[in-house]
Amino acid sequence: MKVIGVIARGPSPLVLDAREYWDLGGLVATGDVWLIGEAIAYRTPGYPWLIGVMRAWFPQPLLGLVCLQGALWLGSVGLTALIARDLSGRRQSVGLVLGVSLAMLSSLTYTAAVLSETLFTFLLMAHLWSMCRFVRRPALTGGVWVGLTLGLTILTRPIGLLIWVADAIFLVGRWHCFPAASTDSFCRRRGWVGAGVAGVVALACLTPWLVRNERLFGRVMLTEFVGRNVWIVTFQDGSGAGLNWPRSSSSEQLENQLTESVWNDMVSDGSWRHTWTVSRALTASGLDDASADRLMKRVAKDAISDAPVTFVKKSLRRWINFWRTRATDLPPQFAELSQQDIAAIAVTRGKEPFAGQDVWGIKVAPIDTALRFRWSNWLSGNTLLVFVMVAAVMLLLWHRDTRSAGLWLAALLGYVSGITAALEIPDYRYRMIVEPVVVVAVVSAVAPLLFSPEPNAASSTDA
């Protein structure tokens, strides 16, 4: 009912990233699956593919997409419950996860937005579940599913690229460092063959996109966006380091790439600190998307080398705030918008806010009330959740049977939060993708304290 209530409030406007995703999906719908017609290096194709399918096959693609994303959110909750049951060996974990999910509302509002978070979260949890099953029963087919889900996760958001490192920690820990009594040498050999198959399948998923980028930009790469990310955290004030413009060969090259008037305007109004202002100016000057990003990365690195202590301090602060940042601005839905709001969006963005799609939206009083009092907008609540999460991971690490799972979850949480802190200004939408992983950690640690193990339970800790 909660999902239906959120969907009933209508879609979010197609602005900024959402409009770009919608337009990329339109290219896919017309047959440009590899997005050759939009030579950008900072997007992966997974989410545009989903939008393209909806735009090509459904008469009302925006409605279909929102409904599908609601189903994916429910699927993520179900996968979270299955993973917690596998790791804890307690079937009651399913009920605990479902109970906790009742308080999860902020992430659900993103199902009404044309953004990749919902799809990425579902694919991430599908991958983690396939890993649990693979560790418990190593097999070639299991390796195929591990590789396929990993490949699709990476193609949806590039932060998934190094998830395999956490997976490797899990495998080594479970099969070698803290093996269960049932783990024999044959099981391990079969498992490592399956892991090799997973790597091959994941690489096969990525190869066409890597080839596309090599042909368009002259380099084998998944995306080229680090430069624009680093520019934000290097030069932006506030959560960014707010560093000064460096004097180096790279900075001179960037200045010379732009016309004198354009550069002087940026200096006079301080807009050189804004990532997209600089990026668009560079591409307008003739640089391709990837080359502009590389140049921005070199300039930012020069600025960081001039003030490394300041940059590190700000990065540590962003890492802490990754977990504590309040969800103050959730995607607005049609039911919340007045006609004046919609007209203002159209004027500001220069485009129709819903791209001519049929829209709907009614206010649902219980949902409106719950959103006003949502947990994620409570700084003290977020801080408390951090302590609960850390305690849960430590408890998993304390017990030998769950130590490998604890290492796995700790590596995942540390990787996502660390990379995000290094490259992004803290925002709830970056944290929401690991909310289900936090739930897995807490429930997997708490369930053994509350319930007896299942008779003949076959958890992933008994691989």
Helix axes 46-57, 17-29, angle to 10 degrees: 60
Question: So what's the pLDDT on residue 22?
Answer: 96
379-398 and 400-423 helices, crossing angle to 10°: 140
pLDDT at 455: 66
Residue by residue, what is the 3-state secondary structure of 347-374?
A: HHHCCCCCCCCCCCCCCCHHHHHHHHCC
Task: Tell which of 295, 324, 353 closes a domain.
Answer: 324
Residue 404, classified by CB atoms within 10 Å of its CB into exposed (0-12), middle (13-18) or buried (19+), is buried
User: Taking residues 17-32, what's their average pLDDT?
Assistant: 95
**For residue 347, what pLDDT band results from cuts at 50, 70 and 90?**
confident
Same domain, yes or no: 337 and 318: no
Give the model confidence (pLDDT) of 247-260 as tens digits. Answer: 999 999 999 999 88
429 and 377 in a common domain: yes
Residue tagged 């560079």 (tokens) = 282
The pTM (predicted TM-score) of the whole model is 0.93
DSSP, res 160: G
Closest CA to 409 of 422, 421, 395: 395
Residues of the domain holding 292: 226-324
User: What is the pLDDT of the chain when averaged over all its residues?
Assistant: 91
Domain boundary among 298, 324, 350: 324
**Whether 331 and 318 share a structural domain:** no
254 and 197, same domain (yes or no): no
Same domain? For 237 and 314 the reply is: yes
Domain boundary among 293, 324, 355: 324
Burial class from Cβ neighbours inside 10 Å (0-12, 13-18, 19+) for residue 261 reads exposed
pLDDT at 320: 93
Q: What is the pLDDT of residue 190?
A: 81
The secondary structure of residue 244, as a DSSP letter, is P
Q: Which of 44-58, 187-201, 248-262 has the highest mean pLDDT?
A: 44-58
463: pLDDT strictly greater than 70: no
- Output the pLDDT for position 180: 61
Residues 137 and 205 grouped into a single domain = yes
User: How many CB atoms are closer than 10 A to CB 219?
Assistant: 13
Pair (304, 350) in one structural domain: no
Residues 38 and 156 in one domain: yes
Q: Does residue 307 sit in the same domain as residue 291? A: yes
Overall average pLDDT of the 7-26 stretch:
94
As a whole number, mean pLDDT of residues 67-87 equals: 96
Only one residue has tokens 């190593």, namely 138
**372 pLDDT exceeds 80?**
yes
Helix/strand/coil for 277: helix
Q: Which residues of 282-298 are buried (b: 16+ CB within 10 A; e: fewer)?
A: bbeeebbbbbbbbbbbb
DSSP 94-110: HHHHHHHHTT--HHHHG
> How many domains does the chain contain in total?
2
Note the pLDDT of residue 460: 42
Give the pLDDT band of residue 6 (cuts 50, 70, 90).
very high
For residues 431, 437, 439, 444, the Cα torsion angle rounded to the nearest 10 degrees is -160
273 with 358, same domain: the answer is no
Same domain, 162 and 270: no
